[in-house]
Amino acid sequence: MSNKIKKIGVLTSGGDAPGMNAAIRSVVRTCAYHKIECVGIYRGYEGLMEGDFKQMNARSVKDIINKGGTILKSARSKEFRTVEGRKLAYKHLKDNNIDALVLIGGDGTFTGGMIFNKEFDFPVIGIPGTIDNDIYGTSSTLGFDTALNTVVEAIDKIRDTASSHNRLFFVEVMGRDAGHIALNVGVGAGAEEILIPEEDLGLDRLVESLRRSRKSGKTSSIVIVAEGDKIGKSVFELKDYVDEHMENYDVRVSVLGHMQRGGAPSCFDRVLASRMGVKAVESLMEGKTNYMVGLLNNEIELTPLEKAIKGKSKINLELLRVSEIMAT
């Protein structure tokens, strides 16, 4: 392995996700293992431009593997999108003798890193941290598994009240423009219908499906709605539409919101973060740059950042079919 890299910076950017702390811990400890210095950069690219750095060692990251959020804080930065902002960031990196960066975040984080690499030839490696699982080049992003468990637990509780009162619940889940959370929790929580951006069900078919459910003897229903669903209506407008077109249904809406991003990471996310952190640091040591580490066929692989940003994560068609069969 090359000895060229003597100091690595690590930051978290964009929306927080459970498992980010476990990834920070892994990066810091892998650096310590290889006797490379490690610097924590606070508040993402914002802190990078302000020089908000802190030297970290193996002991700095004790007792964080089980914590949600990110100890390095996160921020969305407008200034980093400007050439001046990036020049300032580069100056701080050079002044602090930092040779490479590990970026933990989503596609916005990776876009910033890729542009930064292009302009200053500065080595960067990305670790995908987002609950949405909407990044190409990995079957699972950090936080996705934890979010699924959080949402299924919440829906189980909603089901208790739905069945007690013979109610129809529309439950909105996160996921941005991807339906991965909705599809998985829909199957896992036994939802009657799942509305996702990738499959436009249409309002009439939704009402038809709910009527069939009622005829088959179902007295309560749960419909999972992905926040980016293209049916053309907000979850509250959906409720009004169903109220209007279906009698004898007591319809309620539950928007789960930011609770989906919090909580202690699952064992799966902790292990995945640990594997990704090791791969990120060792890839930089080998002279690799402009890649994202990801999980493909249970192996940790590298995908060029450009592909990770521009590629589209695909919905699991087999799971889609399973959801249709299970709604019988």
Catalytic positions, written as ranges: 132
Radius of gyration of the chain (CA): 22
Q: How far is CA 7 from CA 39, 60, 66, in A?
A: 7, 16, 26
Residues in the chain: 328
Classified as helix, coil or strand, 129 is strand
> Cβ-count burial of 235 within 10 angstroms (0-12 exposed, 13-18 middle, 19+ buried)?
buried
Instruction: Show Cβ contacts of residue 234 under 8 Å, excluding neighbours closer than 6 positions.
Output: none
Q: Tell me if 253 sits within 8 A of 236, measured CB to CB.
A: yes
Q: How far is CA 91 from CA 7, 77, 112, 257, 273, in A?
A: 15, 17, 16, 38, 30
Instruction: Mark out the alpha helices in the chain (DSSP H runs).
Output: 20-33, 44-50, 83-95, 107-120, 144-165, 180-188, 203-215, 235-245, 267-285, 305-310, 317-326
Burial track 127-151 (b if 16+ CB lie within 10 A, e otherwise): bbbbbbbbbbbbebbbbbbbbbbbb
